A and B are shown apart, each in its own frame.
Chain A
Amino acid sequence: MKRQVPLLITFFVGTLLIVSIFSPATENLGEEFSVFFDVIAVFAFFLGGGNLLRVHLTKISRKREDWVYSVVTLVGFIVMLWAGLFKIGNEGGIAASVTEESSLFGMVFYSVLIPLQSTMYSLLAFFIASASYRAFRAKNREATILLVAAFIILLGRTAFGTMLTSWMPPSLSLAEIPNLAIWIMNSPNLAGQRAIMIGIGLGVVSMSLRIILGVERTYLGDDGK
């Protein structure tokens, strides 16, 4: 019962969704099921949120290293739950949008969460620089190809790239960096993308079949032996 029922559910639901696509009567089943998933995900959040509370409360109660930051996390979490679930300070009342700017939830969202998100995202500028530097130092052939392609595309998107080859005669215009960058994007890049995508498509077919047939069951806490 503990082992067989989940495998039967996976088999039945998986097969049903494959077959459903081929009948107009059931073609929207995947979308229906995605709503089930949305509902399950919220219930599951009680487990995740509960885990968050437990981890930080344990840290605080045992006065582990950096426990003070756990207090900050918990306060932030609880304030947001309180502000959002009860729509505190929301001018439109309970029926209005939860992120309305006048509400406490909206204020925290716009003045704390948005700047934090944008700043964390912008760290990529620094990391892309360090990754480029590493690629530049790499001595193998693959890294060199990657770097050359990246360099041409990068230059092709800047005014500097246009300037560099602007002296070339019109007969060689195809070799100008912006045109070369377009050619790379449209030809070798497209070829590589296609090979990767076809591979991914077949990989998904194979893995999905292993799951539906119960050959792959590690995710259910079962090794299949």
Chain B
Amino acid sequence: MQYIRPTDGGRRSRLAFGFLSILIVFAALSAPVVAQDVVADTPADTTAVSHVPAPATSVVVDDYKYDFGDRLNLSWVPSIDDQIGERMVLGYIVYRSINGGEFKPLESLLPGASSFEDKDLHADSSYVYYVAAFSETDTVPSIHTQAHQPEREFIHFDLLWLFVIAALISFSVIYFIWMARAGKDLFVRKIAGLDAVDDAIGRATEMGRPILFIPGIQDMDDVQTIAGLTILGRVAKQIADYDTRIRMPVSRSLVMTAARETIKAAYQIAGRPDAYSDDMVNYVTDEQFGYVAAVDGIMVRERPATIFLLGAFFAESLILAETGNSVGAIQIAGTARPAQLPFFIAACDFTLIGEELFAASAYLSGEPKQLGSLKGQDVGKGIAMAVILIGVISVTLGKAFDIEIFNWIADALSTVFSKAGGS
């Protein structure tokens, strides 16, 4: 991720560009008149007009804020012969010299280009650049820049407010976990989809049919898969208690490994380690629709009584949910992919919407410290709602009636909440 912010150098150079741009506009306005005069005087001899383009001007090199001394920003004012409609300039070539060495071409850019970001540099080297504008027949270099050494920065001050607010919300989560540990009673409302888990497992037990658990189609590097597996930990314990059969085909090898660890532990906690078998979880294929074809087959052949679809789902969500529905299974689904939620809502009995998926494991555990974390994330929601309320009122009143204090509040909130907010 890169967070780009204009530097002081950038502002200074923009002022210089502004001034130069005015000069260039004057020059550009006068240039055709001169050319017409020439043509009018010597109508038969148009080839006498020079085709050598004007060079790029004001070539400036700036340090890139905030980087680890590996980038420089190069900017320039394009040649006056590089204008939409009559482009004599066909492009620019950036040349670079390292530590006073020979200039070598670095990058070829399209006409209209006015900046270039040079990456993978060394903080202990010095760089000089020039930009050459080229036409069909000629190449015209600009003057050289000053030698510049990239500077190292160690802290991303651009991200100060992101840090402060993330820290605030993280501390509120930790605070409530700590409060709950200390014995404070914390209320968490009922979540219908999660209250149904117990009944859904009981149903499978009564019917003597298996429970199918699908943790999505992503790997362990997706937070939704991890959320699905944390729920599996809670569900598997109940399954072990009820002595029901669980079936878990997965589409990733790492998920298979993690799911086996999870279920094995759940059976140990339930005091039935002998009932656990690695065969409860099996790898099918990494391929999205190959996996779906196999899971659909399992659904219609083994007719599970209960199906959990909890994790990251893509287009396959509806195929799985509709097939599960057609075999009469109770389905509890959840994902943080908004585009797939409507299909789960249409085809499943209960759907955990976005945030509820991440809260499910904590809720199902019933442990105070886990529930405390849900309180902490509510503080985050409270902050978001307060900022939206204050922000919308301030910016509306500020813009409508031009009241300074409201404009100031709105600007301040906007700065703080902007990802690249100011320091």
Contact = CB atoms under 8 A, between A and B. Distances in A.
Contact of A49 (B253, B293, B374): B253
A23 B156 contact: yes
A200 B226 contact: no
A218 B338 contact: no
B242 to A, nearest CB: 17
Contacts of A117: 287-290
B264 A221 contact: yes
A116 B290 contact: yes
B265 A221 contact: yes
Secondary structure dominating the interface of B: helix
Given A131-B318, A135-B346, A218 B377 contact: no
B359 A203 contact: yes
Interface residues of A, number: 62
A134 B173 contact: no
A172 interface: no
Interface stretch (A39-47, A96-104, A176-184): A39-47
Contact of A218 (B230, B252, B286): B230
Contacts of B377: 202-203, 205-206
A22 B167 CA distance: 12
Given A27-B1, A204-B223, A45 B373 contact: no
Contacts of A200: 336, 354-355, 358
A210 interface: yes
Contacts of A209: 170, 173-174, 373, 376
A135 B342 CA distance: 10
B52 to A, nearest CB: 42
Interface of A: 21-25, 27, 34, 37, 40-41, 44-49, 51-52, 55, 113, 116-117, 120-121, 123-124, 127-128, 130-132, 134-135, 146, 150, 193, 196-200, 202-211, 213, 215-216, 218-225
Interface of B: 1, 66-68, 152-156, 159, 163, 166, 169-170, 173-174, 177, 219-221, 223, 226-227, 229-230, 232-234, 237, 252-254, 256-258, 261-262, 264-266, 269, 279, 282-290, 292-293, 315, 318-319, 321-323, 325, 336, 338, 341-343, 345-347, 353-359, 361-362, 367, 369-370, 373-374, 376-377, 380-381, 384
